[in-house]
Amino acid sequence: MSSTLIKITDLVKSFPIGKGKFTALNQINLEFSKGEFTGFVGPSGSGKTTLLNIIGSLDIPTKGTATVLGKSVSNLSKKEAADLRNNHLGFIFQTYNLLPVYTVYENVELPLLLQNISASERKKAILQSLEWLGLTDKIKSRPAQLSGGECQRVSIARAMVKEPEIVLADEPTANLDAKNSHHILQTMEKLNSELKTTFIFATHDEKVIQYLKRKISLEDGKVVADEQITK
């Protein structure tokens, strides 16, 4: 079996603006294999989030195809897209998106409630995931009682709890100081090497960029460089 997880072919994404349109992604061709630790880098407005959203089946291409785990995102029904996201993808957002009334434990449990998993299995997965992220002593806290770095770690635990094949992270360090950023990146590096989880970032943070094993540079919706980084 091929290890290609994602294949993007001649992808164009344009948005209607008034009577015209704005081309946010222009003729993108990329492939991603299992276990990559990669990211889209480039200036604000270059198309990083747009591309990540298409890979995450939150949006579809205007032209061309994006095939994720063997399925073209353009052809998925709403339910199929939701199944792809719930069962195979993990999302980490800049703003965490934690639910304030829920505890750390309950926030991490949410993606598992969408799946058919027993309470005891859920508990095992949640405790494992919180341990990975060093949050065992915060299980009963609510987001308002946590620091920004801790909230971001909860959001990573929530993305990792299902052990997804692919984690998509949009500016995951935007609200963190240098120490927390490095801690989080080292944790993701560890999950990448131990679980072979594929990570794809969208970022302009130099701290994130220095961890990438492959750096894909976007400018005005085009890939202008695609480099393997040897450390």
Q: Under the rule (CB under 6 A), what is the footprint of ligand ATP?
A: 15, 17, 22, 24, 42, 44-50, 202, 204
> For Mg ion, which is the closer residue by CB, 49 or 152?
49
Q: Compose the 49-68 pattern: x for residues touching Mg ion by CB under 5 A, - for all others.
A: x-------------------
- Nearest by Cα to 154 from 173, 183, 134: 134
- Nearest by Cα to 168 from 186, 188, 187, 154: 188
What residues does 14 pair with on adjacent strands? 23
84 binds, among Mg ion, ligand ATP, none (CB under 5 to 8 A by kind): none
54 binds, among ligand ATP, Mg ion, none (CB under 5 to 8 A by kind): none
Please answer whether residues 107 and 154 qualify as being in contact, where contact means their C-beta atoms are separated by less than 8 angstroms.
yes
> For ligand ATP, which is the closer residue by CB, 31 or 220?
220
What is the nearest approach in angstroms of Mg ion to the Cβ of residue 99? Answer: 23
Q: What is the 3-state secondary structure (H, E, C) of 20-77?
A: EEEEEEEEEEEEEECCCEEEEECCCCCCHHHHHHHHCCCCCCCEEEEEECCEEHHHCC
56 binds, among Mg ion, ligand ATP, none (CB under 5 to 8 A by kind): none
Please give the single-letter amino acid code of residue 16. P
DSSP one-letter code for 145: G
- Nearest by Cα to 103 from 139, 58, 133: 139
204 binds, among Mg ion, ligand ATP, none (CB under 5 to 8 A by kind): ligand ATP
> For ligand ATP, which is the closer residue by CB, 15 or 163?
15
Contact between 173 and Mg ion by CB under 5 A: the answer reads no
101 binds, among ligand ATP, Mg ion, none (CB under 5 to 8 A by kind): none
Site for Mg ion, rule CB under 5 A: 48-49
